[in-house]
């Protein structure tokens, strides 16, 4: 009997121990999940926002909502986008001036040369990938039914040439009015008019005219801010009040960015839901243009998950996929916003907080990248140009392929960080091979999707380049560990680790370029 009692007690103790162990395991799992969510709070909530937006959009399509109803659905996302755009201009000015003021002129020159070299290299490779994919898959076959009747290769009105685009880039880099540059940029266009000759005949002549369009002249502001910040840094003590002012302004803007970030899930859900509701017959679209969409998305995927990681690994010996994961949050926001400029505050924050990129390098590279780095756009322009040529059965020589490659790369640099800018720049690449401009209208049906895909490449390409430049321009100096959390009080990213805060006066040692 005594043995039975002891055996019963032993069994009871074992069950209690197993229960405690099970509770401990569950507690450990819950703690791990909570830690992961806390580390990647904004990424997790944004993913939920994307899923919710897609589900709601598909579900509400069956109700055939009115235009007014769609406007109400889009309102939270529109407010979110307005807040981001509101911060772009003051943040660009504050970050570039404060960053340039804390860098020597020699370091800035080397950083600029290194940054632009990487941007041009990746854009050229992206255009080459687009050409390879569109040539191999040949999405333009059996598409003659979608081609308009006007397939003439000659255009009656003269379009801007590649030289005009290059010269416009230089003109915009040196604006004659700084205030106007915050709201307008310029471009060349041609106006045709009839002129009566001495013999009575009428001749049509074209004249280049400088036009002004709405939108910030980002390149001009960047050039001025770099020059202004460099001058502040070179003056030393007399200019310290200005240096402190722009540093404080930069901190205030980033604080506001942190506040806006809290509205990301709602804004993302709203924008995606509204875009799905506004889209036409999605099934018909994918049936007609599926091969072209597959071609472009495949090319962009190879560029993003192949070229960028290889370049990062070769130059830094770091883990590129860890970097891309750390930049996933601004990448998802870029997909929703379909423009690089509104995501610039989020990208700067992710690079500084999560990736450990020197904030001076990030503030120097990202604004330039938003303006001139369009590797996804280069890939799309090259692929779309060849697609239209295939639809019209235009036979091309090797020299034509080379011309499209160079033109796509150059035109992508001139593209602005606004939605669908690439479609309006395709006139130059199409004119190189004599393809009809009228067929560009066919691409508008796929633009709502492909524009977002190439924007992700543009945005993440900026981030990868900033990380590479930060590694190559290694900072010499002891890091000042900051144990505090971010300005939101949420430990997101390196939000659980000690952020590597780099001293402002540490010298930048850039490699020879």
Identify the pLDDT of residue 481. Answer: 37
Q: In terms of pLDDT, which residue wins out, 503 or 33? A: 33
Q: How far apart are CA 247 and CA 218, in angstroms?
A: 20
Q: Residue 107 has what pLDDT?
A: 74
Tokens read off for 329: 């949050």
pLDDT digit string, tens, across residues 309-356: 999 999 998 899 999 999 998 998 888 887 888 888 889 888 988 888
pLDDT (tens digit per residue) in 343-390: 888 898 889 888 888 888 888 889 888 888 888 889 999 999 898 888
pLDDT bin (cut points 50, 70, 90) of residue 513 is very low
Q: How does DSSP classify residue 426?
A: H
Give which of 335, 427, 461, 439 is closest to 387, Cα–Cα. Answer: 439
Alpha helices in 182-263 (DSSP H): 218-235, 240-261
Residue 490 is predicted with a pLDDT of: 39
pLDDT of residue 154: 42
Q: Does residue 122 surpass a pLDDT of 70?
A: yes
Express as a percent the part of the chain with pLDDT over 70: 75
pLDDT of residue 22: 56
Contacts by 475-480 with C-beta closer than 8 Å and gap 24+?
Answer: 475/358, 475/502, 475/506, 475/507, 475/508, 475/509, 476/506, 476/507, 476/509, 477/502, 477/503, 477/505, 477/506, 477/507, 478/503, 479/503
Whole-prediction pTM value? 0.72
Q: Residue 471 above 80 pLDDT?
A: yes
When pLDDT is averaged across residues 122-131 and rounded to a whole number, the result is 93
Element (H, E) at 68: helix 67-101
Give residue 255's pLDDT.
86
Query: What is the Cα–Cα distance from 182 to 98, expressed in whole angstroms?
Result: 19
Handedness of CA 22, 27, 30, 36 (dihedral sign): negative
- Residue 156: pLDDT above 80? no
* CB neighbour burial string for 34-62, b if at least 16 within 10 angstroms, e if fewer: eeeeebbbbbbbbbebbebbeebbeebee
**Three-class SS of residue 344?**
helix
> Strand, helix or coil at 281?
coil
Cβ count near 248 (within 10 Å) = 12
pLDDT value of residue 198 = 67
Instruction: Please report the pLDDT score of residue 477 as a whole number.
Output: 42
Least confident of 217-226, 284-293, 384-393: 284-293
pLDDT at 142: 63
Structure tokens at 17: 């121990």
In order of their start, the domains of the chain are: 108-189+205-223+282-509 (1.10.3860.10)
47 vs 35, more confident: 47
Dist CA 400 CA 382 (whole Å): 11
- Report the candidate in 329, 309, 328 with the shortest Cα–Cα distance to residue 319: 309
Per-residue pLDDT of 194-209, as tens digits, reads: 766 666 676 777 777 7
Residue 468 predicted with pLDDT over 90:
yes
Write down the mean pLDDT value for the chain. Answer: 77
Which tens digits make up the pLDDT trace of 409-424?
887 876 654 555 666 6
């Amino acid at each position: 009997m005594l043995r039975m009692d002891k055996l019963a007690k032993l069994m009871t103790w074992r069950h209690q121990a197993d229960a405690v162990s099970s509770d401990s395991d569950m507690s450990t799992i819950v703690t791990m999940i909570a830690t992961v969510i806390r580390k990647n709070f904004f990424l997790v909530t944004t993913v939920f926002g994307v899923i919710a937006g897609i589900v709601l959009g598909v579900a509400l399509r069956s109700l055939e909502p009115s235009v007014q109803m769609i406007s109400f659905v889009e309102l939270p996302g529109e407010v979110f986008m307005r807040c981001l755009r509101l911060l772009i201009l003051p943040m660009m000015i504050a970050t570039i001036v404060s960053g340039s003021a804390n860098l020597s002129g020699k370091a800035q020159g080397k950083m600029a040369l290194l940054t632009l070299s990487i941007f041009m290299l990746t854009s050229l490779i992206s255009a080459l990938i687009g050409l390879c994919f569109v040539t191999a898959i040949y999405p333009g076959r059996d598409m003659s039914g979608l081609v308009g009747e006007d397939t003439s290769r000659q255009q009656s009105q003269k379009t801007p040439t590649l030289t005009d685009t290059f010269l416009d880039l230089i003109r915009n880099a040196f604006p004659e009015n700084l205030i106007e540059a915050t709201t307008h940029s310029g471009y060349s266009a041609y106006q045709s008019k009839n002129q009566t000759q001495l013999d009575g005949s009428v001749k049509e002549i074209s004249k280049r005219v400088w036009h002004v369009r709405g939108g910030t002249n980002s390149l001009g502001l960047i050039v001025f801010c770099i020059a202004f910040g460099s001058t502040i840094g070179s003056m030393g003590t007399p200019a310290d009040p200005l240096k402190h002012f722009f540093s404080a302004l930069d901190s205030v803007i980033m604080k506001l960015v942190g506040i806006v970030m809290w509205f990301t899930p709602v804004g993302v859900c709203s924008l995606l839901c509204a875009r799905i509701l506004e889209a036409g017959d999605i099934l018909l679209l994918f049936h007609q243009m599926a091969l072209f969409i597959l071609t472009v998305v495949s090319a962009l995927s190879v560029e993003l998950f192949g070229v960028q990681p290889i370049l990062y690994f070769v130059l830094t010996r770091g883990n590129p996929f860890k970097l891309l994961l750390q930049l996933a949050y601004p990448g998802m926001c870029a997909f929703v916003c379909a423009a690089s400029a509104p995501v610039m505050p989020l990208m700067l924050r992710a690079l500084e907080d999560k990736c450990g990129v020197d904030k001076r390098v990030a503030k120097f590279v990202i604004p330039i990248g938003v303006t001139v780095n369009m590797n996804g756009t280069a890939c799309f322009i090259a692929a779309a140009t060849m697609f239209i040529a295939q639809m019209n059965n235009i036979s091309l020589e090797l020299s034509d392929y080379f011309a499209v490659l160079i033109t796509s790369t150059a035109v992508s640099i001139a593209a602005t960080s606004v939605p669908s800018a690439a479609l309006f720049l395709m006139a130059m690449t199409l004119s190189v091979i004599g393809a009809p401009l009228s067929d560009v209208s066919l691409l508008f049906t796929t633009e709502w999707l492909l524009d977002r895909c190439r924007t992700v490449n543009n945005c993440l390409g900026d981030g990868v380049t900033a990380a590479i430049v930060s590694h190559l321009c290694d900072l010499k100096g002891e890091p000042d560990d900051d144990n505090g959390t971010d300005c939101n009080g949420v430990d997101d990213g390196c939000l659980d680790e000690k952020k590597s805060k780099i001293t402002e006066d540490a010298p930048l040692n850039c490699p020879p370029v």
